[in-house]
Structure 1
Amino acid sequence: MDRAMNQSLTHKEASRLEALARLRLLDTPAEPEFDELAGLAASISDVPISAITLIDERRQWFKAVVGMDSHGSDRESAFCSYTIQQDEIFVVEDATADQRFQRNPLVLGDPHIRFYAGMPISGPTGEHVGALCVFDRQPRQLTGAQRTALEVLARQVNARMELRMRRMELRMRRIEQEQMLVEQDRLNRELLAAQQRFQSFMDESPFLSFVKSVDGRMLYYNRRFAERFGITMSAWLGKTDFDLFPAEDAQAYRDNDLAVLRSGQLQVLEERSRESDGSASLWHIYKFPCGSGEGVTTLGGIAVDITETTMREEKIARMRREISELRDQVELAQVMALQQERSEMMSDRKMEMALVGL
């Protein structure tokens, strides 16, 4: 039972300290609106000393004080430590006659408290964070009107604290928003610079580059691509290969795209395209899946026109074949000529032998 009660008290104190921290009042400079309420409390109660106190885990700190030169005391000796445990005004008419305070250093020494009255003040969620209190160096009693006035003034302190907190939160929120806007502007500028670097890199690349969605729609192509096909930088965006090329070619491109997306790996392909004059171009294409943490979202491609290279290689191969054939023909002619020469020589020898025989 005691353990459960201690846990409950610990939780309650933690909530109270959290509410106090949220007010952002501890160790702040004096503010006229709180000084005026403290002065009014002393005047109404007809006492020389009054204060608006805040109590953290170790100390009692005065946000406003009238009638003594002090910033606070330790929590253990603070009368207000009793006040925050209650929901109504706490009064000690003569501290020297109250066993709880007879040996209190604030009673035995400066400011020599004999009379104390305190009304708890609360944060916006109701936790008692301190007190509006009045002191006297001689015993006394509060009238009913004075009690009521202290209760009203305490509510005014509550309202002022909450208003101050709301203003500060609003100011902090505005500062955070301004910082976010500055950061967003910086990120936007960095993003724009990165996009410009990327665009410049892609446009100056000697290769044709493009990006398609997984359903085959053109999302991006570089300047070399646009120049090669004689189009603007936006003419083909959103279109599929079936919108742009003959059906047979488009189907071949789509089949290759799907194969790359299924494999999840880079593939090196050769694809043909038909030109407006009816001729065919041959492309060496690198196609690869692109994605993020959400999986593959696009397909990228880099294409190199190898038509001229292929034609040149084919021409060289043809010339080599022709040279080889010509060499074979020359060798054959040489063999035939040699055989003819030998045949003629044999014929001449036979004739000579015949003449000798005669």
Structure 2
Amino acid sequence: MQTPIIQFGTSRFLQAHALAYFQNGAPIGAAPAVTVVQSTSDPARRGRLDALTAPDGYPVRVRGIENGQPVDREERVTVVKRGLGYDGDYAELQRIFVQEARWVVSNTADRGFDPQPADDLPHPDPAQSYPAKLFHLMRARHLAGGGPLIVLPTELVPANGDKLRIRVRQIAVAQGEDPAFLDAHIWANSLVDRIVSEEIRPAGAVAEPYGLWAIAAQPGLELPVAHPAIQIVPDLEPVQRLKLHILNLGHSTLIELWQRAGGQETYVRQAMSGPLRVMLMNIMETEVLPGFAQQGMGDQARDYLAVTLDRFDNPFLDHRLSDIAQNHASKVAHRITAFLDWAGLSPDQAPQLHAISQSVKDPAP
């Protein structure tokens, strides 16, 4: 059995995102097969690995609005062929990494790239950061004469591939190694998006229909499958702008309107079923879409807004407004104020967004 894809992380997000797309995509060459790696071999968590590798797979329940219509379906994911713990199964992990791997996928949480004290150890250790673990495996592959890999991080870090490469090179230098061998690998920058609202135990997840895995094009980049949600793009910035200044801006604008109205609703879908929807749509139509049009992205923005509204209307998703309202001032600065600066919209062109930006910046005493 060969598993050319090695995935670091067993989160419900990866279960309903990368693994589901490998399952449902059209294979490019051989059918995809995956080895999933858990950070430890904790027996209490071994049940998830066993469930991920079950012969009949694990379920992904897709629930929401798609093209304006409600959907509620179950998909089975059977591409995971091996489940390994980093510490207890390290010898087998290294063998697979050296002999079988072609793609390396990861999602190691927001701080997964952060240095750890154990990174200075000259040998692999479970307490090391993901970049340090990757360095030791890549060094073993290099010493064995293995070829280049395609590294596909999905962590929500801007320029995640570049940052991972830089960190792995730093560790190589600290270990007294010439880091040049790392440059043969392809380090892809990507942006991912899919709401995975619930886990199904022992393995599986509930997810919305929408999903995106945008990957910046570069020479030599190849993927194991073709899937509508996986997009190779020349530049990630337009994708980031759409997500940040329509989806995220829409959330923060809705929070501002919700708070001003007294905050009666609990969930996004409830807020979108009443007068707040009319107010939000007015801002989107008269200020946000014209701002994107000024930057030559009018058609893209209108299409993305339609998909975003389907996501906001998801009748199965309990997306709490109070959760989105956390760190509201910071979010307004990054989502609304930054949009006004990027689009170059004056207060006359976008009076409502400017009012929100100013009121959050300078709240009344």
TM-score by length of 2: 0.18
Asked which structure has the greater RCO (Cα within 8 Å, sep 6+), the reply is 2
TM-score by length of 1: 0.18
Larger radius of gyration: 1
